[in-house]
Each structure stands twice: as structure tokens, then as C-alpha cells.
Amino acid sequence: MLLKKWTKKLLTMSLVTGLYGSLVTSVSAQDQFDHNNISFGQDTIVEFEFIRSHGSNQATFGIVNFTTAVETVFFQEIKPYDNYGSYVRDRRIEGQNNTNQLVDFVGTIGNSVLPGANVTIVPYNNKANGSVIEFLFKKNEVYAFFLESRNPDGEIRRTFLSTQDYVQFDGDLGGGNMRDRYGRDIIGRSMAWEDGGEENRTDLDFDDFVIEAGGILRDNCHCQNNYSYQSYSTQLQPYSYYAPYYYYQPYQPYQPYSVY
């Protein structure tokens, strides 16, 4: 079912944008995390942190593996925004990036936004529970992120892919503390999504669903039996928690270092 679903989507998109060929071609061992595709030359764990959502639509964010046609939901809104259904009235602000502000139908983790049912939550004492998840990218497999946007009535509007121009990438997976194009402090690689699409080109604010990925290259292991992996963490300072990754050699003491 998933294979048919994504094959149909890709074929439809290819008629309009020519994306299909670029997604299914084989990839080299070079890591890639941009509009072209998401792929790594070795097994790679990346942590993803939900920052905030804006706007009255209800969104689901995740990733699709184009090698296996399997999709995984990372974060999803269980209602359109935090104050939905309450007496509190939100103020709509169109065409302005409000990622650093609590305006324009805000969605936060634990209220209107929850992590996906099949992801691994990474608990940190200094972050909201459920705001950070991790995902294992398999070596040389090709991925893309997706954002499914629904109107407040629950009708499916459109599904956007990271290979389209509805997401802005800023920063670097192993870049630590950085700034995006709006001057906002970010950690690692930022993905700021726009869900207005062609239906409303006046509201291109790219703050409808904001995610940050990675931050520091935590592990780069060339293990026994010719197996290797790497992992990117959102936590830039030493910490006591370490997620159970079940690799072939024991975890070594944390040593912060740059990706370069």
C-alpha cells in the first residue's frame, strides 16, 4: 500500500516538477541533507527537535524512505493549534515569519503537538518531554521529509516534500549554535516549512512547522566487522543520558568535537 501510495505521488510530481528521477537515482557515499534528497554514506542516527508550529492548519511531519517506500511520522498535531476549541482567540499574521514569537495560532509539544507513535523519544532534562526524537538513516538509502497539511475541518489539503520549495534549510547538522536567515538562534540544521502552497501565495512565512536536526557530531564509530555509524545530537553540552543504540561496540565517553 505504501509503495503504491508514494509511487503515485512521485509520478504525479514528476509530470510537474521532474523530481522523480532525482529521487530514485543511486547515491554516493557522500552525506546529503538538503532539497535534493536525504542520504548518508554510513548508518547515521540524527536527533530531531520540534520547535514550534504556526497557523490554523493541522500538520503531520515525517520522513519517507524512497528505497523501501516506508514512511515514519516524527511529529503530528492532534488539533490545529494549542488554543483550538477554547475561548482564547488567536491573531492571524500572514506573510511574516513568527518562529520566535507566540503569535499566529501557535502549536507546542505536549499540547497540540505530539511525537509519532513509532519513533524513539530522547529524554533530556532541559527539553520538553517528547520534543526530541531520533531516527536511524540506513547507509545509502534515499529519503525525503514530508509535511501533510489539513485545514481545521480535518480535510487533507496537500502533502509537501522536502524536495520542493516549501521548506527552508538553514545551518548544518554538525554546526552547533548557528543563526538562520531570519537571525534566529538555531542548533544544527533547521527546517522551516510553509504549508500555504499554491493556494495562498500571500502567506509564505515559512513558520508553519519548524524542526531542528542534529547540532553536534557525537559519535563517528568504525566498529568491528567493518561496520561504521555516526550520530548527531541536539544536546551540545555533556549530559548523563545516552540512548540505547545497540551497536557492535560499547559507547565511549562523550567527547564533544566539531564535524570539521
Q: Look up residue 195 and give its three cell numbers.
A: 504549508
Is the pLDDT assigned to residue 243 strictly greater than 90? no
- Model confidence band, residue 204 (pLDDT cutoffs 50, 70, 90): low
DSSP-derived pairing of the beta strands 132-137 and 43-53 = antiparallel
Residue 191 has pLDDT above 90, yes or no: yes
- Structural domain includes residue 242: no
> Which cell is 70 given?
516506508
pLDDT of residue 235: 81
Phi, psi of 74 (to 5 degrees): -90, -55
Interacting residues of 133 by C-beta distance below 8 A, sequence separation 6+: 47, 48, 74, 75, 115, 116, 119, 120, 121, 122
User: Is residue 119 situated within a structural domain?
Assistant: yes
Q: Amino acid identity of 94?
A: E
For the ranges 195-199, 222-226, 237-241, the lowest mean pLDDT is seen at: 237-241
β-strands 70-77, 113-115: how paired? antiparallel
User: Of 31-35, 96-100, 151-155, 247-251, which gets the smallest average pLDDT?
Assistant: 247-251
Q: Which domain holds residue 158?
A: 41-233
Residue 245 and residue 247: Cα distance in Å, rounded? 6
Strands (E) across the chain are located at 32-33, 38-39, 43-53, 58-65, 70-77, 113-115, 120-121, 132-137, 143-150, 156-161, 167-171, 177-179, 185-187, 189-193, 209-213, 216-222, 228-233
What pLDDT does residue 181 have? Answer: 82
Q: What is the mean pLDDT of residues 122-131?
A: 92
Question: Among 30-39, 135-144, 216-225, 241-250, where is mean pLDDT lowest?
Answer: 241-250
Mean pLDDT of the residues in the chain: 76
Q: How far apart are CA 212 and CA 74, in angstroms?
A: 12
Query: How do 228-233 and 43-53 pair as beta strands?
Result: parallel
Which range, 156-170, 200-214, 223-237, has the best average confidence (pLDDT)?
156-170
Q: Would residue 111 count as lying in a domain?
A: yes
Give CA 123 to chain center in angstroms.
17
For the stretch 52-63, pLDDT in tens is 898 888 999 999
- Render pLDDT for 16-32 as a digit per residue (tens, 0 to 9): 344 444 444 434 457 99
Do the domain assignments include residue 30?
no
Among all chains, which residue has been given the C-alpha cell 489539503? Answer: 157
Decide if 62 is inside a domain.
Answer: yes
| Residue 106 domain flag | yes
260 domain residue, yes or no: no
Please report how many Cα atoms fall inside a 13 Å half-sphere around the Cα of residue 88, on the Cβ side. 9
Residue 22 contacts residue 32 (beta carbons within 8 Å): no
* Residue 207 located in a structural domain: yes
Query: What's the whole-number mean pLDDT along residues 234-240?
Result: 60
For residue 151, what pLDDT is reported? 80
Residue 184 pLDDT? 83
Give the integer Cα–Cα distance in Å for 164 and 146: 10
Mean per-residue pLDDT, 29-50: 92
Per-residue pLDDT, 60: 95
> What's the structural domain count of the chain?
1
DSSP states of 141-155 as a string?
A: --EEEEEEEE-TT--
Residues 157-183, mean pLDDT to the nearest whole number: 88
Query: Where residue 15 falls among pLDDT bands split at 50, 70, 90?
Result: very low
pLDDT at 39: 96
